[in-house]
Structure 1
Amino acid sequence: MVNESLATGDTVKAKVVDIKKFGAFVELENKEEGFIHISKISKKYVKEISDFLTVGQEIEGKIIGKTKDGKYELSLKENNDELIDEATNNSQNFEKKLNQYLKDSDKKIPEYRKHLDKKRNIKKR
């Protein structure tokens, strides 16, 4: 891609290259560096960035300015609500499956112990 000048308000594609507690670093499609502050990831409260973004994920964001060190600053709030909702849903689905697994395990463990106790009693005779 030709290095073209990007302006505030432009929508760009980027790839997440690093995640920190305070934001995510991205590489724009024109190979320039960008940054997404934690407050610009979602309209919802973001406690853990990894609940919304992963390294290697391709995203689309809006340029909202430049950082002090010259990186493009992006916002995902306007562009990626569907993507973020999908990530949130995936996280919630995982939690539901994990909770169901734990409940099932709690039910099966006593049955398994009874079975083992029966086997032990048979062997002792």
Structure 2
Amino acid sequence: MANILVVDDSESVRTTLRNILTAADHSIVEAVDGYDALEKLKEKDTFDLILLDVNMPEMNGMEFIKVQAEDEKYKQIPTVMCTTESHPKLILEAKKVGVVMAWLLKPFKVDKLKETIRRIVEKRS
């Protein structure tokens, strides 16, 4: 269905997302932080969606979306923030960058995650 880049420093979160999304016929590539995600984008730039955590070592999610938005190839990929962060100012700042299409709070509901992905991927097609 969709090629999704999952970016989270927590192995358990990546495993949970991989299990949910592969069961829904999505193809998953995992990255542990923003730098790793940029490397994965260079290796395979055919992603339909990025699921991104905010709080990560090295390059965090906010730093990543700013780099993503400056790159012509990557700014077209819609990004969903999957995070424990819920401060309205942070959400507004992220959405102003222009690549963040949704903000899901952890722990997220599986149905909400699937519906958000479906809506964004369908809109992109």
**Please, what TM-score do these two structures have when normalized by structure 2?**
0.23
The structure in which a higher percent of residues are strand is 1
Larger radius of gyration: 1
The structure in which a higher percent of residues are helix is 2
